Amino acid sequence: MTDETADTEFPRTIGKVATRELAAHGYTRYAHLTTVSAATLLAIHGVGPKAVRILTEELAARGLAFAT
């Protein structure tokens, strides 16, 4: 069995389902997240408020942010 989250740079704390769904939509790097809004990510099944909060914090730590 392979680790489906291995091809992303997102922290495991967002959850396997959120990581898998983000990757399925083409979001595997923090830079990819700067092209979409948090609301867009929340509309993806399996990506909830906790995942978006963690990703918001991770983006900010890198000087990045979701698109507005």
pLDDT digits (tens, 9 = 90+) for 2-51: 445 568 999 999 999 999 999 999 999 999 999 999 999 999 999 999 99
Query: What's residue 6's pLDDT?
Result: 60
Query: What's residue 1's pLDDT?
Result: 34
Query: What's residue 2's pLDDT?
Result: 42
Residues with Cβ within 8 Å of residue 68, at least 6 apart in sequence: 37
Residue 5 neighbours by CB distance under 10 Å: 19
- pTM for this model (two decimals): 0.89
